Amino acid sequence: MTTDLNGLKMLELKVPPVVLALIVATGMWGVSALFPTLSFDLPGAVWLSSCIALLGVLVAILGVLAFRTAGTTVDPRVPEQSESLVVSGIYRYSRNPMYLGFLMVLCAWGLWLGNVPALLFLPVFVLYMNRFQIVPEERFMREKFDGAFTRYCTGVRRWL
């Protein structure tokens, strides 16, 4: 049996990450409503989830600001419009702080929902982002920025 790699490739860079995060958040809410018996009580959930969500928003905003300061595109669907390789600020700690911020907000949402099946959406988000967003972006960045991007990747992790 052969896998249709072209079929999978056509999904690359198609769904804006913020839209994907909203889809995942909606799915998390839906599954928590479908399986209320798989919910759990977490003491301080509101406080904890609020802190994680705020930190996630801050991380994502710092990523956007670094791109704006460098004068490069923040639209991840068109990596060919990248004008510069951003390696300073929050990008010293994560190659994808905007995506990390979305993941943190989704994690906070899952904790607030307090539902085990809802939390299972988190690894799905990471797997989708890695395969259909980050890998194609990194492919382009290697082509455009060659050795500089490869050196950057050896010193900074993809997520955190």
pLDDT digits (tens, 9 = 90+) for 95-139: 999 999 999 999 999 999 999 999 999 999 999 999 999 999 999
**pTM, two decimal places:** 0.93
Structure tokens at 5: 């790699």
Kindly report the length of the chain. 160
Is 12 within the bounds of a domain?
Answer: no
Is 131 within the bounds of a domain?
Answer: yes
- Residue from 138, 141, 16 nearest 84 by CA: 141
Domain count, the chain: 1
Of 8-17, 62-71, 105-114, give the lowest mean pLDDT range.
8-17
Asked if 108 contacts 45 with a C-beta cutoff of 8 angstroms, the reply is: no
Is 32 within the bounds of a domain?
Answer: no
Is 17 within the bounds of a domain?
Answer: no
